């Protein structure tokens, strides 16, 4: 008995040593096999040997499952061999899961084997849904597993239960929230092939302007619902507007506590967000963004942006651009007066309107402030000084000097000193003979003086400066997603703009085209004979001699600005050929 007591510990130590050695060799062989990606048969032999030594390592069975799965796919040409390998793969994954039920990789690959088995050999009727669900539930924050599982469920959408659909929504929302374009693109492709239910995609997508724009682009490129595309773009712009408001309020708060750099960043971000708004809401006949609220936000942001820069020590000429943009929008005399007081307090302008001609930039801006406050006679006083002065204007400042002359002329015109106004307009025209704005003012003066002959002469000059009434192109190709820009010099009146596109054959897919004018979307529809929106017309033109295909014509009624107007044409889903632009 005493000898047995002495031997038992030795036996236990020996057993433990054998087990440890077995585990060691099992793990050693596992790593050898894992690194062998070229010779699958050799890999299987090593793994089988590892199992003979120690049959309780889930990783070994997991690698065996992968190896048998690869062989099954490689031998699809031989039904018997392929099915045998896939069955072995399923058995190996089952053993791996029994050993380690928490392995989401094992559950996922087990589901993959079941999926392939059920697809290639329908008689093997074992559901793979639950294994995919388990893999996703165990994956934690592994977005790749979510992505793969979500793709599978989305591809069999009509077959799965409502419970599985809710589960799919949860999984895919996590993927969509990552905003990875490649994954979003793939999910949308699968949705297009297997679901094509817009309500489903809306449940998946996060409320994010960039994601909504990406989805809208996908809808356009696939020639899917135009109404849904425009709705998503309108909603994206509303989100941009809401973000712009948050940026503005954050900037205001930082500005209040003199955190100038942070405030400047917020105000710039607000302006950038507003610049991205093309008012797609006009195409869906919704008022998500009030025009007055939009203008007020832009005004306030531009003003605070300039003030922030001034507090940082910037000079007047460095902030003048933002201030002029603000004044272009501001019509309240009291608000302009507040700005003037602020600039005086920062010693950027004088107490009274300067009559010194030493700094034309400062004088030009100060005159603009006075004009916006209806102080026309103060400006006329500057005009009298200019009459009595001999001024040599440097080439670099001629444009500024013309602005001064025009504002003086406008001031004379406001108080009905028409002849004096004409004098300053003509001086401005001498410096800039190609100024459409100046010629239009001169024409207005001639109209008030009933000078028919001079009106006709001025009209001829204006016509030469305006954009050609008709511009022909030799089949100008505009590629999908490319923006073709054309600057049109116009006189501020309403025009009928007509775009001529080369027609296609009946079997061709109808192109979707978007037209922007001065930063706003004015038309977006398919280029076909039927019109889509009020205020526009799409029709088939006459057949050309060289082709039996009729040209497609888009006619738009637009309000132009005086001077430069920006026209942008963008094909959304396929290239188009632009033949001609006309207006009347």
pLDDT in tens, 353-411: 876 777 889 999 999 999 999 999 999 999 998 888 887 888 889 999 999 999 999 99
Distances (CA, A) of 308 to 162, 302, 339, 367: 55, 10, 13, 23
Beta bridge partners of 476: 578
**Residue 25: per-residue pLDDT:** 54
Least confident of 7-11, 98-102, 202-206, 484-488: 7-11
* CATH number of this structure's domain 26-211: 1.25.40.10
What count of Cα atoms within 13 Å lies in the side-chain half-sphere of residue 351?
Answer: 0
**Domain ranges in the chain with CATH number 2.60.120:** 470-583
Residue 17 has pLDDT above 70, yes or no: no
- pLDDT the model gives residue 540: 46
Other beta carbons within 10 Å of 132: 27
Q: What percent of the chain shows pLDDT beyond 70?
A: 88
Paired tokens of 22: 């077995």
| Burial of 3: CB neighbours in 10 Å, binned 0-12, 13-18, 19+ | exposed
Mean pLDDT (the chain) is 87
Which of these CATH numbers, 3.40.50, 2.60.120, 2.170.130, 3.30.70, describes 470-583?
2.60.120
**Structure pTM?**
0.84
Helices (H), 277-375: 291-311, 316-329, 333-345, 360-372
Lookup result for tokens 């889903």: 573
**Segment of 35-39, 503-507, 523-527 carrying the highest mean pLDDT:** 523-527
Exposed, middle or buried, 583 (CB in 10 Å: 0-12/13-18/19+)?
buried
Provide CATH 1.25.40.10 ranges for the chain. Answer: 26-211
Two structure tokens written together for 305: 């942006």
């Amino acid at each position: 008995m005493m000898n047995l007591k002495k031997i038992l510990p030795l036996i236990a130590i020996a057993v433990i040593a054998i087990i440890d050695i077995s585990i060691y060799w099992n793990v050693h062989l596992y790593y050898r096999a894992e690194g062998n990606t070229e010779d699958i048969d050799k890999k299987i032999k090593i793994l089988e040997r590892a199992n003979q030594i120690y049959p309780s390592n889930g990783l070994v069975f997991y690698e065996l499952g992968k190896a048998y799965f690869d062989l099954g796919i490689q031998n699809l040409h031989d039904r018997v061999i392929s099915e045998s390998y896939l069955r072995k793969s399923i058995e190996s994954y089952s053993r791996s899961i029994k050993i380690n039920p928490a392995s989401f990789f094992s559950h996922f690959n087990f589901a993959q084997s079941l999926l392939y088995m059920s697809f290639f050999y329908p008689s093997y009727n074992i559901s793979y849904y639950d294994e995919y669900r388990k893999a996703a539930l165990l994956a934690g924050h592994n977005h790749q597993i979510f992505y793969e599982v979500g793709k599978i469920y989305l591809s069999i959408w009509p077959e799965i239960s409502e419970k599985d659909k809710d589960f799919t929504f949860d999984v895919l929302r996590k993927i969509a929230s990552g905003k990875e374009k490649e994954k979003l693109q793939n999910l949308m492709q699968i949705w297009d092939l297997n679901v094509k239910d817009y309500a489903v995609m809306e449940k998946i997508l996060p409320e994010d302007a960039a994601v909504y724009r990406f989805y809208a682009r996908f809808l356009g490129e696939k020639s899917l619902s135009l109404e849904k595309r425009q709705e998503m773009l309108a909603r994206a712009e509303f989100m941009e507007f809401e973000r712009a408001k948050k940026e503005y309020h954050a900037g205001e708060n930082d500005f209040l506590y003199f955190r100038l750099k942070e405030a400047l960043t917020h105000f710039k971000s607000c302006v950038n967000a507003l610049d991205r708004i093309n008012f797609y809401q006009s195409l869906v006949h919704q008022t998500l963004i009030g025009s007055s609220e939009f203008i007020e936000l832009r005004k306030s942001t531009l003003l605070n942006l300039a003030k922030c820069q001034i507090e940082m020590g910037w000079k007047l000429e460095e902030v003048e651009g933002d201030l002029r943009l603000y004044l272009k929008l501001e019509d309240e005399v009291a608000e302009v007066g507040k700005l003037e007081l602020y600039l005086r307090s920062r010693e950027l302008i004088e107490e009274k309107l300067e009559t010194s001609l030493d700094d034309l930039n400062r004088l030009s801006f100060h005159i603009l402030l006075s004009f916006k406050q209806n102080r026309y006679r103060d400006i006329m006083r500057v005009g009298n000084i200019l009459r009595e002065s001999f001024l040599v204007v440097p080439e670099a400042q001629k444009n500024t000097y013309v602005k001064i002359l025009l504002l003086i002329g406008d001031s004379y015109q406001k108080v009905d000193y028409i002849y004096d106004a004409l004098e300053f307009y003509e001086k401005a025209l001498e410096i800039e003979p190609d100024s459409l704005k100046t010629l239009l003012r001169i024409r207005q003066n001639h109209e008030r003086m009933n000078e028919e002959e001079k009106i006709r002469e001025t009209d001829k000059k204006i016509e030469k400066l305006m954009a050609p009434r008709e511009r022909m192109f030799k089949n100008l190709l505009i590629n999908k997603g490319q923006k073709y820009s054309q600057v049109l010099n116009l006189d501020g009146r309403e025009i009928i703009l007509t775009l001529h596109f080369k027609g296609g054959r009946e079997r061709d897919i109808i192109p979707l085209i978007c037209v922007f004018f001065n930063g706003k979307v004015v038309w977006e529809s398919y280029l076909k004979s039927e019109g889509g929106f009020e205020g526009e017309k799409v029709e088939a033109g006459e057949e050309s001699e060289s082709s039996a295909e009729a040209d497609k014509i888009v006619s738009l009624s637009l309000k132009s600005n005086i001077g430069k107007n920006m026209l942008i044409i963008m094909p959304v889903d396929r290239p188009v050929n632009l033949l001609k632009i006309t207006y009347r």
